[in-house]
Amino acid sequence: MKTTLNFGALKDTITKKAAIELAQENKKSTLVDFLESVRTSPVLKKQFLVYKNFEKTKPFEHTRLAERFIEQNLQALRDVQWEDLMEQNASLRQNLLGGPDQCTVMASKGNEELFENINTIIESRLNKRFTNIDADVKAYGALIEHLTRKVEATEMNEEKERPKANRFWKYITQNALGYFNERFEALDPAERDLFKMMISEHKEKHEGVIKLREDLIKLIEEKIAASKSREDVVILESFRQKVDKQVGEDKMMSDEYIMSCFELKKALMER
């Protein structure tokens, strides 16, 4: 794994390096640089959320739900180019860890196989030159096994899992959001909202972006009304103009645009 660009292994190695820096009271924080790189790159952000989902989610009771979970995560990466993904991972490694002669990149014990399998199914979907079908099948099967592994004290409500046919649509509308929040609970609320919007179908995604813009403008106006600083008001007014500005359909529906709106909303709520 000396020259690996596997994002999970990179993340674990960066975390280890940051822990050493903390123990040595080193003012340099590799972890802060890593999080900033993820925050400012839509490609790295998507990848970060996908790996976090696979690593942290609770096991599923049924294979079909695990399969659905895998597809939802791959859906979040549908617009990413494999070459771009590898290029950004390579830059992340070089900038934060150096080359292979400076640092050996390794996943934490217990994560090695999981991260390799995640990387394989992502490559099989994104890399047009990928031809190793056997590796793809093996990785997919291993992920299903990981997602359906047995844990102690796990009980499922069978009525919730298999609702009666005549109550199916009621079940869907009442439990879809609860299901999503439960299965993606590894993400914080803001990350969950972002991820849900990225994997939504076109109509739902469009409605979500429109509401996000409306919520942002309302939040900005509330901040303006509460501000006592002329300088802050000027900055907030510029934010409102940018959010309210008409943009093309393609740009408004892009994950980059959506992420920038989420980042602005988060920044404003922390002010």
Looking at the structure, do residues 30 and 140 belong to the same domain, yes or no?
Answer: yes
Shared domain for 145 and 11, answered yes or no, is: yes
Please determine, for residue 164, whether its predicted confidence score (pLDDT) is greater than 60.
no
What pLDDT sits at residue 249? 87
Q: pLDDT (tens digit, 9 = 90+) per residue, 14-60?
A: 998 888 877 777 666 788 899 899 988 999 999 999 999 999 898 99
Rounded to an integer, what distance in angstroms lies between the CA atom of residue 35 and that of residue 31?
6
Closest to 5 measured CA to CA, from 75, 138, 97: 97
Using the predicted structure, report yes or no on whether residue 159 has a pLDDT greater than 70.
no
Distance CA 41, CA 29 (A): 19
Q: What is the pLDDT of residue 27?
A: 65
Q: What pLDDT shows up at residue 19?
A: 82
Residue 53 lies in a domain: yes
Residue 195 lies in a domain: no
Angle subtended at Cα 190 by Cα 95 and Cα 210, rounded to the nearest 5 degrees: 110
Q: Is the CB of residue 107 less than 8 Å from the CB of residue 9?
A: yes
- The pLDDT value given to residue 3: 64
* Co-location of 128 and 22 in the same domain: yes
**Is 159 a domain residue?**
no
Task: Identify whether 165 is part of a domain.
Answer: no
| 49 is a domain residue | yes
- Cα dihedral 174, 177, 180, 181 sign: negative
Asked if residue 260 is part of any domain, the answer here is yes
Mean pLDDT of 119-139: 96
Same domain, 108 and 19: yes
Whether 37 and 115 map to the same domain: the answer is: yes
Answer yes or no: is 169 within a domain: no
Q: Are residues 143 and 11 in the same domain?
A: yes
Containing structural domain, residue 48? 7-149
- Whether 158 is covered by a domain: the verdict is no
Question: How many structural domains does the chain have?
Answer: 2
- Among residues 126, 149, 172, the one where a domain terminates is 149
User: Phi and psi of 106, rounded to 5°?
Assistant: -145, 145
* Section 225-249 average pLDDT: 88
